[in-house]
Structure 1
Amino acid sequence: MNIPFSPPFIDQAVIDEVLETLQTNWITSGPKVKALESELITLTGTPAAVCVNSWTSGAIMMLNWFGVGAGDEVIVPAYTYCATALSVLHCGATPVMVDILDDFTIDPEMIRKKINIRTKAIIAVDIAGLPCHYEELKALIREPEIKVQFVSKTARQAGLGRILLIADAAHSIGAMYNEKPAAQQCDVTIFSFHAVKNITTAEGGCICLNLPEPFDNQEEYAFLKLFSMNGQNRDAFAKSKGANWRYDILFKGFKMNMPDICAAIGLAQIRQYVKTLLPLRKIISLKYGDAFRGYDWFIEPVMKSENREASYHLFPLRIKGITEAQRDRVIDELVLRGINVNVHFIPMPMLTYFKSLGYAIADFPNSYKQYSTEISLPIYPQLTDGEIVYITNAVIECVRLVTGVKKLVKVLS
């Protein structure tokens, strides 16, 4: 058997939407992008959505929008993909890394210790699709003793009057918080539509705005659409309609727009997401939990709690009491059996570039602890019941083989 880790969901609806786009002879930013933005507003309940060409582009745009630059700091978890910190570095600012909780989300108390007059934003990462503890984070940045430390350098910073809270929701489209879409919890939520995500546009992302007064989210949407197109006041689609050739450059923007040919893929998927694709992912996650629950080595991931429910983007299996080397051997054994798995994530302080900047994994013990025992199992709508059984049986056998325990204990509930 050969089971891929995370193939894209491409059905006839996706093919038809892409073919329709090709047949219109308009493949860059246009009506399909606008339609996808509209669907995202419906899904998230946020006031505005701006599609871009990647999560990273979205983060760089929003940090620039807020005026984050040299001398500023942005707090990020050490346990995330490199793009979270690289977006900060690309703005000339400094990523300040903090450790995580056992559920993989950023630790609010560690954030508190790092806030100072240079702190301009926090990027909280929804690992595996589980929302961070946003009520705690929002309460923290609104505390009088925290707000008084905030030093405004731009009009937008003065308008907000506090630290900007950004959700790195690359994994968490469709996640819920207090029975509402989790995207409503932060000032800014940024999704990824990379090929392995729950909804894909091959490459792409989206910025969802939920800015408080005095901001007008529609005005900021209009600005960001120009910002993603080099600051040009008339996009190519508008220029293609008649004699609209004249344009102006209003400010120094970026080239980060999403093309229609990519939006078409996501548009077909998002229309099936709530009723079909997301429930299928949840079913697979529950089957994994049922298969492993009771084994004394199984650390069950938090996929649903009192006020949070994940998007079931990953199933982050953790194996109690093993070393990093043993975890790697389990992965090797699974691959030999035709099961492609992954690890989410190698903490940034373990990566060469970040080590060269002075970050050290010894400063983030829980990040290392979670990483060293984690294996991300395949989870996507196309998985069959037979493949799920094959995967779970293989995991149980491979853990037994690597740990050397002749008989694994299954605790009776």
Structure 2
Amino acid sequence: MIIPFSPPYIDQAVIDEVMDTLSSNWITSGPKVKRLEEEVVKLTDSQAAVCVNSWSSGALIAMKWFGIKEGDEVIIPAYTYCATALAVLNCGAKPVLVDIADDFTIDTEKIREAITSKTKAIISVDIAGWPCNYSAIRQILTESAVRNLFRPLTENQEKLGRILLIADAAHSIGSKIDGKPAAKQADLTIFSFHAVKNITTAEGGCICLNLDLPFDNDAEYRYLKIYALNGQNKDAYSKYLGSSWKYDIIYQGVKANMPDICAALGLAQIRQYTHLLLPARKRIANKYHEGFKPHKWYIKPPLLDSSRESSYHLYPLRIKDITEEQRDQIVDKLCAIGISVNVHFIPLPMLSLFKQLGFDIAGFPNSYKQYACEISLPIYPQLTDEQVSYLIGSVIEVVEENFVSKDYIEVGVTL
């Protein structure tokens, strides 16, 4: 049985929305992007949402908006995809890496230890759909001692009066905290709509704004829309509708706008998200848990607790007391029988670029510990019960026949 890792969800509604865009003769940024932004606001209860062409562009724009530059520091977890750190580096700032907690998310006490007078932002990273402990992070950022360290150098930094909290929510659209959208927990929350994400626009992202007074989120939305279109004060669609052809360049912006042809995919998916796509992911995650629960080697991933709920983007299976090399062999054996799995993520200090910047994985022991035993299992709405059962059985067979201590195998336990 062949099971791909993460094919995009393309149904007739998606095809119809894309065909409608093509037949409209308008494929770059226009009405479909605006409608997608409105749907994101509705889903997340955010104050405003700006669609862009990638998570990376969104993060770069967000930090530029706040005035982050050379000499500044941005705290991020060591356990994340490289884009989190590259956005910081591409602003000219220094990424300050800290270790993670056992639930894969940034260790809040490590944040406290890493804050200096140069710290301008924290990028917390939701992993596999699981949101960070935002209440603990916000509490740290509002402490008098931490606020007194903050050195504002721009108008927006003066307005905020503290370190900016950005949520790297590439994995977590639809996650909840206390029954409410997790996206509201940060000042700026940035989603990815890459092809493998819960909602996709093929390539794309979105910045959600939830800035407190004295910020005007609508005004900041208008600024970011212009900034993401080369700082141009009039877009092509306005001219298409009959507006004057004249325009001006009012900011030193970037080219990061999302086109309508991409927005159409996401628009069709987001309309089905809460009643169809997200419940399907949750159902599969629960099936995995029930299948692996009897086995002593199984470490349950964070999915649901008294306050937080995942968006079930990935199923990060962990196996007790295996080595990194054994994990890699399990991945190879599963791929050899047609089951595509993955690993999320190689910690940044293990990658060549970050080694060259002076980072050493020895300084981030929990990041390595979680990485070394983690295997990301497929989780998407198209997976059938038969495929899920086959996958569970195959994982159990490969693990127990080859890699775990006999102490972890229950005699007589079957799926």
Give the TM-score normalised by the residue count of structure 1.
Answer: 0.98
- Counterpart of 1:251, as a letter, is Y
Q: Indicate the SS of the match to 2:387.
A: helix
Distance in 1 separating the partners of 2:268 and 2:27? 16
Q: Indicate the SS of the match to 1:127.
A: coil
Distance in 2 separating the partners of 1:402 and 1:217? 55
Is 1:201 matched up with 2:205? no
Shift of 1:151: 0.1
Q: Which residue pairs with 1:157 in the alignment?
A: 157
Q: Which residue pairs with 2:253 in the alignment?
A: 253
Shift of 1:405: 4.9
Distance in 2 separating the partners of 1:20 and 1:245? 26
Distance in 2 separating the partners of 1:229 and 1:64? 14
- Kept in 1, the 8 Å contact 2:400–2:409? The answer is no
Is 1:331 matched up with 2:331? yes
Q: How far does the alpha carbon of each residue in 1:48-74 deviate from its partner, in whole angstroms, 9 at most, with x for none?
A: 000000000000000000000010000
- Kept in 2, the 8 Å contact 1:28–1:259? The answer is yes
Q: Which residue pairs with 1:100 in the alignment?
A: 100
Distance in 2 separating the partners of 1:158 and 1:408? 56
Q: 1:5-404 counterparts in 2 under 5 A? A: 5-242=5-242, 244-403=244-403
Q: How far does the alpha carbon of each residue in 1:4-60 deviate from its partner, in whole angstroms, 9 at most, with x for none?
A: 000000000000000000000000000000000000000000110000000000000
Shift of 1:406: 6.0
- Counterpart of 1:85, as a letter, is A
Distance in 2 separating the partners of 1:243 and 1:296? 67
Distance in 2 separating the partners of 1:324 and 1:402? 14
- Counterpart of 2:188, as a letter, is V
- Counterpart of 2:320, as a letter, is K
Distance in 1 separating the partners of 2:355 and 2:186? 30
Give the TM-score normalised by the residue count of structure 2.
Answer: 0.98
Distance in 1 separating the partners of 2:338 and 2:230? 46
- Counterpart of 2:50, as a letter, is V
Shift of 1:242: 2.2
Shift of 1:402: 2.2
Q: Indicate the SS of the match to 1:395.
A: helix
Q: Indicate the SS of the match to 2:159.
A: helix
Structure 2 CA distance for partners of 1:403 and 1:261, relative to 1, 3 Å = same
- Kept in 1, the 8 Å contact 2:176–2:310? The answer is yes
Q: Indicate the SS of the match to 1:129.
A: coil
Shift of 1:241: 2.1
- Kept in 2, the 8 Å contact 1:329–1:402? The answer is no
- Counterpart of 1:59, as a letter, is A
- Kept in 2, the 8 Å contact 1:400–1:407? The answer is no
- Counterpart of 1:153, as a letter, is L
Distance in 2 separating the partners of 1:271 and 1:26? 21
Q: CA RMSD in A?
A: 1.1
Identity percentage over the alignment? 62
- Counterpart of 2:319, as a letter, is I
Distance in 2 separating the partners of 1:407 and 1:112? 40
Runs of 4+ residues over 2 Å off in structure 1: 404-412
Q: How far does the alpha carbon of each residue in 1:256-279 deviate from its partner, in whole angstroms, 9 at most, with x for none?
A: 000000000000000000000000
Return 5+ residue gaps in structure 2 as ranges. Answer: none
Return 5+ residue gaps in structure 1 as ranges. Answer: none
- Counterpart of 2:58, as a letter, is G
Q: How far does the alpha carbon of each residue in 1:86-145 deviate from its partner, in whole angstroms, 9 at most, with x for none?
A: 000000000000000000000000000000100000000000011100000000000000
Q: Indicate the SS of the match to 2:271.
A: helix
Q: How far does the alpha carbon of each residue in 1:306-333 deviate from its partner, in whole angstroms, 9 at most, with x for none?
A: 1000000000000000000000111111
- Kept in 1, the 8 Å contact 2:322–2:404? The answer is no
